[in-house]
């Protein structure tokens, strides 16, 4: 590389320009020239730059392309370089580009976002309509929103109306009136919807043993949260219990679910009794009062 003083002195007042130190003045310079490579592989690059004194200098860089480069490629690969361009590359110069950028739109299949349970329940459209559209369709039960081996036709929640919510969510206006209270006034549990108006006083102190449902034939790894998840859609659940063998710590295969409202318990019994859960057929019945 050679660096020589530029032959033509600039007509600009460099002193003035240097006041703005650090400003990019390269636009004042002649454009870069590339010569070659010639048949001997010699390539020359001529460019102009400002040196530290602010003078314009001409920089000539001479390089020789190693002929060895071709030798590293296979004979066929070298041959391919001389092929005529085709397709979108037809207007490209020979050897200018080896690859083309595709503008084709490629849609990637992504069944569901991992870890987001809310997302996976929201599958747009009718599942029936999605069948046969090619590929596996993630089946999501329309009613209970769970994915898996059950679907709407077999879902115990399938013809379940809106699950009755707790009194906190929906204060029953009629019982409010019955209690003689105004809107938002306290309603004793015995006067709430589903409560037994006949039971008052000391019964209120007792733990809710009402509307107790016994569930048997549970698989060994069914835990209380699983049971709650299974029964919650029918209405407010006040307690869930799975009998555990104290010695082994394993499930004894039965449990109890208590509902706030008796109607909800009844519907749960009707729907879940005989329901296949974890490869077992559940038995769901009214529980007998606990033997003390």
Partner DNA sequence: TATGAGCGG
Binding site residues, DNA, CB under 7 A: 207, 209, 212, 214, 216-218, 241, 243, 246, 252-254, 256, 258, 283, 285, 287-288, 290-292
Residue whose pair of structure tokens reads 């009998």 in the numeric block:
243
Nearer to DNA, 175 or 212 (CB): 212
If the CB atoms of residues 155 and 215 are measured against DNA, the closer one turns out to be: 215
Distance of alpha carbon 160 from alpha carbon 183, whole angstroms: 30
Q: Smallest Cα–Cα separation from 242: which of 264, 216, 223?
A: 223
Q: How far is the CB of 119 from DNA (least distance, A)?
A: 36
Nearer to DNA, 155 or 213 (CB): 213
Cα-based torsion angle of the residue sequence 172, 287, 282, 263 in order, rounded to the nearest 10 degrees:
-20
Shorter beta-carbon distance to DNA: residue 176 or 251? 251
The least CB distance from residue 289 to DNA, in Å, is: 7
User: Which residues, 6+ apart, have CB-to-CB distance to 204 below 8 Å?
Assistant: 188, 189, 190
- Least Å distance, CB 216 to DNA, is 4
Of residues 50 and 231, the one with the C-beta less far from DNA: 231
- Cβ atoms 152, 140 nearer than 8 A: no
Q: How far is the CB of 290 from DNA (least distance, A)?
A: 4
Residue 107 is encoded by which pair of tokens? Answer: 């849609």
- Closest contact distance (angstroms) between CB of 230 and DNA is 16
Contacts of 281 (CB under 8 A, 6+ apart): 217, 274, 275
d(CA 123, CA 104): 27
Nearer to DNA, 130 or 238 (CB): 238
Q: Closest approach of Cβ 142 to DNA, in Å?
A: 31
Q: Point out which residues pair with 31 in neighbouring strands.
A: none
Question: Under DSSP, is residue 58 helix (H, G, I), strand (E, B) or coil?
Answer: strand
Of 181, 170, 158, the C-alpha closest to 261 is: 170
The nearest distance, CB 201 to DNA, in angstroms, is 16
Give the shortest CB-243-to-DNA separation in angstroms: 5
SS3 268: helix
- The Cα–Cα gap between 23 and 15 comes to 13
Residue whose CB is less far from DNA, 48 or 254 = 254
Shortest CA distance to 272 belongs to which of 264, 280, 283, 261? 283
Nearer to DNA, 28 or 243 (CB): 243
Using CA atoms of 216, 222, 226, 230 in order, give the dihedral in degrees to the nearest 10. Answer: -30
- Residue 15 token pair: 């002193």
């Amino acid at each position: 590389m050679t660096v020589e003083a530029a032959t033509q002195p600039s007509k600009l007042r460099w002193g003035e320009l240097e006041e703005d130190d650090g400003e990019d003045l390269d636009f004042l310079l002649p454009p870069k020239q590339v010569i070659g490579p010639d048949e001997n592989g010699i390539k020359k690059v001529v460019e102009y730059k400002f040196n530290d004194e602010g003078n314009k200098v001409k920089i000539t860089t001479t390089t020789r392309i190693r002929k060895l480069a071709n030798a590293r490629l296979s004979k066929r690969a070298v041959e391919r370089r001389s092929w005529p361009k085709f397709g979108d590359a037809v207007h490209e110069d020979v050897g200018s580009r080896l690859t083309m950028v595709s503008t084709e739109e490629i849609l990637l299949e992504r069944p569901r976002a991992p870890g987001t349970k809310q997302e996976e329940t929201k599958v747009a459209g009718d599942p029936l309509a999605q069948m046969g559209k090619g590929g596996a369709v993630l089946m999501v039960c329309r009613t209970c929103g769970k994915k898996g081996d059950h679907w709407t036709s077999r879902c115990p929640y399938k013809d379940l109306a809106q699950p009755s919510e707790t009194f906190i969510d929906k204060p029953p206006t009629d019982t409010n009136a019955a209690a003689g209270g105004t809107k938002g006034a306290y309603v004793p549990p015995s006067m709430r919807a589903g409560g037994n108006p006949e039971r008052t006083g000391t019964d209120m102190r007792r733990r809710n043993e009402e509307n107790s449902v016994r569930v048997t034939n549970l698989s060994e790894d069914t835990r209380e949260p699983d049971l709650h998840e299974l029964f919650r859609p029918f209405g407010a659940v006040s307690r869930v219990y799975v009998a555990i063998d104290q010695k082994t710590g394993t499930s004894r295969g039965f449990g109890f679910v208590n509902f706030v409202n008796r109607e909800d318990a009844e519907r749960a019994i009707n729907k879940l009794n005989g329901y296949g859960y974890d490869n077992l057929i559940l038995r769901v019945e009214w529980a007998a009062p606990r033997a003390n």
